[in-house]
């Protein structure tokens, strides 16, 4: 256990040092956050106060939807980028010759990638509330529960992208699908009941839909854990199924790459 | 006890052209990197792995380090099978390859070593001292706190060696370890390798440098087109020139140095 914590610390430290030494990166991220929020703020003002999706003001609705969606996408992207860079520099092969088991290495690395995105999400939500006056009524326990369960799903998504990258050098294809399709289906910018019935049913098969809906209800409406139990159960179900599947897929793709000698192909 | 055992190992790489191969000319088929290769290495032994480009030297090292799996046969390290007990094998093996770039560019040399040492489960209490030792052994003490993105090829290579040494492996795999090193660093490195062997480390050294092979190795493995042509000891009095002549005689390659005389 202490060895695992030591490894996690080493990975977090590596990623933090790399991030702060990209001096302009942090500032660009902050500028991006404020620009995006400003666009959503003025969009919601242009639409007017009469539009209240799911009974909440439109700007907070957008704030949570886009914040959670970006958290998923950024986490998976950060993790995939780390795998791609490791392939390009040859670090992946070296990492896989260390005493750390590949699955442990992947999980620890993804925790680090997700921590960065979590900080970004918190900055995003804080800026939305503090600067753009989004009104929230948070239930912190419910928020934490939604976030933890969503993390497991996001982790599975990142690992699935890494699996595709190792197996076919096409991890970005999954993220392209996510980036181009899922924001539309998951209720990021409008409630899913606005969609035609078949698409609404499809959106209910997307885990991100429940993560965004759950976070809105926890953060904007302050719903209790009891009231949110069905949503939390669905999120947990997705996590229990997707995470082991993603890990098994990665294990298979690593084994195949070791057999074919394609570990460092990109 | 035999530390490394290669038992009838075969490894081939298949080439599967892309779907629209008619657009280009990618070759179909397979390259056989190792054909039924068997050898073993004992504790404290230094083996020089010689052979022309594409003879299978790096493939052999990758099979031992578990980044490749054999198609047939078995690779065992310290009694553990590289296919089924990869974790146990990785704990024993350190590897340094030529043309190293496999570091995190925005970390310093010391930070990179600390990171890899943590993944290699070197305890926190020992880490700083071990890192200082390997930085000294590889002549990187003065550059220890410089970001590696500013390193030269030779410095990268030294850092690669330092990384392989920091876990104190019982099997050390080196792929052309001195290719970009200056004469002084090379001599110091050879001394380090001999010292490690005295401490019971098994060293497998893939090289094209005959002087290096005669200076440090006890045994010669000569690979040619995936086959093990020669497995013999290297005598204390054997010169680099004699080994060079032997190499060209066995492989049938043309020695450009002699042709140019």
Return the structure tokens found at A28. 């660009």
H or E element, residue B185: helix B183-198
Q: In the prediction, which pLDDT does A266 show? A: 67
3-class secondary-structure state, position B104: coil
Chain B contact probe: residue of A8, A88, A98, A169 with most B CBs at under 10 A: A98
Q: In the prediction, which pLDDT does B20 show? A: 61
3-class secondary-structure state, position B204: strand
Q: What are the residue ranges spanned by the domains of chain A?
A: 2-260
CB-CB under 8 Å, A90 with B101: yes
- Per-residue pLDDT of B59-72, as tens digits, reads 999 999 999 999 99
Per-residue pLDDT of chain A (266 residues; tens, 9 = 90+): 678 999 999 999 998 898 888 767 778 888 888 999 999 999 999 999 999 998 899 999 999 999 999 888 888 887 788 888 888 888 888 898 999 988 888 888 888 888 888 888 999 999 999 999 998 999 999 999 999 999 888 888 888 888 888 887 777 777 787 777 888 899 999 999 999 999 999 999 999 999 999 999 999 999 999 999 999 999 999 999 999 999 999 889 988 888 888 877 76
The whole domain housing B153 covers 2-259
Chain A contact probe: residue of B16, B54, B100, B118 with most A CBs at under 10 A: B118
Which residue of A11, A97, A259 is in closest CB contact with B65?
A: A97
Chain B contact probe: residue of A17, A86, A99 with most B CBs at under 10 A: A99
Which residue of B102, B124, B147 is in closest CB contact with A94?
A: B102
DSSP strand pairing (B171-175 vs B202-206): parallel
Interface of B with A (CB under 8 A): 13-14, 59, 62, 65-69, 71, 87, 90-91, 93, 95, 97, 100-107, 111, 114-116, 118-121, 124, 147, 163, 167
Domain count, chain B: 1
**Dist. CA B67–CA B49, nearest whole Å:** 19
Q: In the prediction, which pLDDT does B22 show? A: 65
Do A65 and A216 contact (CB within 8 A), yes or no? yes
Do A216 and A228 contact (CB within 8 A), yes or no? no
Do A125 and A146 contact (CB within 8 A), yes or no? no
Residues of A in contact with B119 (CB under 8 A): 7, 10, 95, 98-100, 105
CB-CB under 8 Å, B121 with A100: yes
Nearest CA in chain A to B103: A91
3-class secondary-structure state, position B198: helix
Q: In the prediction, which pLDDT does B99 show? A: 62
Nearest CA in chain A to B99: A90
CB-CB under 8 Å, A258 with B68: yes
- Return the HEC string of chain A: CHHHHHHHHHHHHHHHHHHHHCHHHHHHHHHHHHHHHHHHHHHHHHHCCCCCHHHCCHHHHHHHHHHHHHHHHHHHHHHHHHHHHHHHHCHHHHHCCCCCCHHHHHHHHHHHHHHHHHHHHHHHHHHHHHCCCCCCCCCHHHHHHHHHHHHHHHHHHHHHHHHHHHHHCCHHHHHHHHHHHHHHHCCCCCCHHHCCHHHHHHHCCCHHHHHHHHHHHHHCCCCCCCCCHHHHHHHHHHHHHHHHHHHHHHHHHHHHHHHHCCCCCC
Nearest CA in chain A to B12: A260
3-class secondary-structure state, position B33: strand
Q: Residue B142 is part of a domain; what is its CATH number?
A: 3.40.50.300
φ, ψ of residue B81 in degrees (nearest 5)? -80, 130
User: Can you tell me which residue has the tokens 């052309």?
Assistant: B176
CB-CB under 8 Å, A89 with B121: no
H or E element, residue B116: helix B109-119
Q: Which residues of chain B have pLDDT under 70?
A: 17-23, 98-100, 255-261
3-class secondary-structure state, position B66: coil
Closest-CA distance of chain A to residue B29, Å: 13
Integer angstrom CA distances of residue B106 from A10, A20, B91: 14, 9, 27
Return the structure tokens found at A44. 């919601």
Beta bridge partners of B77: B4, B80
User: Can you tell me which residue has the tokens 């047939």?
Assistant: B72
Question: Quick count: other Cβ atoms within 10 Å of Cβ B59?
Answer: 25
CB-CB under 8 Å, B13 with A94: no
């Amino acid at each position: 256990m202490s060895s695992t914590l030591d490894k996690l610390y080493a990975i977090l430290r590596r990623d933090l040092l790399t991030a702060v030494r990209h001096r302009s990166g942090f500032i660009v991220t902050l500028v991006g956050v404020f620009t995006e929020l400003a666009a959503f703020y003025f969009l919601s003002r242009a639409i007017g106060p009469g539009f209240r999706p799911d009974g909440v003001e439109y700007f907070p609705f957008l704030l949570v939807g886009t914040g959670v969606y970006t958290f998923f996408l950024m986490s998976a992207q950060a993790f995939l980028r780390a795998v791609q860079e490791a392939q390009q520099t040859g670090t992946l092969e070296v990492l896989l010759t260390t005493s750390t088991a590949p699955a442990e290495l992947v999980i620890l690395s993804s925790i680090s990638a997700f921590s960065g995105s979590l900080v970004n999400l918190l900055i995003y939500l804080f800026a939305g509330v503090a600067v753009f006056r989004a009104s929230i009524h948070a239930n912190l326990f419910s928020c934490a529960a939604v976030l933890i369960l969503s993390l497991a799903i996001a982790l599975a998504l990142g690992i699935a992208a890494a699996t595709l990258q190792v197996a076919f050098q096409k991890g970005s294809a999954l993220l392209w699908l996510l980036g181009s399709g899922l924001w539309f289906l998951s209720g990021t910018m409008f409630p899913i009941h606005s969609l035609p019935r078949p698409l609404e049913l499809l959106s209910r098969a997307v885990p991100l839909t429940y993560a965004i809906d759950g976070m809105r209800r926890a953060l904007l409406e302050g719903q209790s854990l009891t009231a949110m139990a069905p949503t939390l159960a669905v999120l947990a179900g997705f996590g229990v199924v997707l995470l082991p599947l993603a890990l098994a897929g990665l294990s298979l793709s690593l084994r195949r790459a070791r057999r074919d000698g394609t570990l460092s192909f990109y | 006890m035999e530390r490394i055992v290669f038992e009838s190992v075969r490894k081939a790489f298949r080439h599967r052209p892309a779907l629209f191969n008619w657009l280009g000319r990618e070759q179909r088929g397979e390259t056989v990197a190792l054909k039924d290769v068997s050898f073993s290495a004992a504790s404290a032994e230094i083996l020089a792995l010689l052979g022309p480009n594409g003879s299978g030297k790096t493939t052999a090292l990758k099979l031992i380090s578990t980044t490749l799996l054999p198609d047939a046969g078995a690779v065992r390290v310290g009694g553990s099978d590289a296919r089924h007990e990869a974790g146990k094998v990785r704990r024993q093996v350190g590897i340094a390859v030529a043309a190293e770039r496999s570091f995190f560019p925005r970390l310093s040399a010391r930070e990179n070593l600390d990171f890899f040492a943590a993944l290699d489960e070197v305890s926190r209490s020992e880490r700083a001292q071990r890192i200082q030792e390997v930085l000294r052994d590889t002549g990187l003490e003065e550059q220890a706190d410089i970001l590696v993105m500013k390193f030269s090829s030779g410095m990268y290579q030294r850092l690669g060696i330092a990384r392989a040494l920091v876990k104190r492996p019982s099997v050390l795999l080196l792929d052309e370890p001195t290719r970009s090193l200056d004469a002084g660093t090379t001599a110091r490195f050879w001394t380090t390798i001999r010292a490690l062997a005295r401490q019971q480390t098994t060293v497998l050294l893939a090289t094209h440098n005959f002087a290096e092979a005669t200076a440090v190795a006890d045994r010669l493995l000569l690979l040619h087109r995936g086959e093990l042509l020669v497995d013999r000891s290297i005598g204390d009095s054997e010169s680099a020139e004699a080994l060079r002549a032997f190499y060209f005689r066995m492989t049938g390659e043309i020695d450009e140095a002699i042709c140019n005389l």
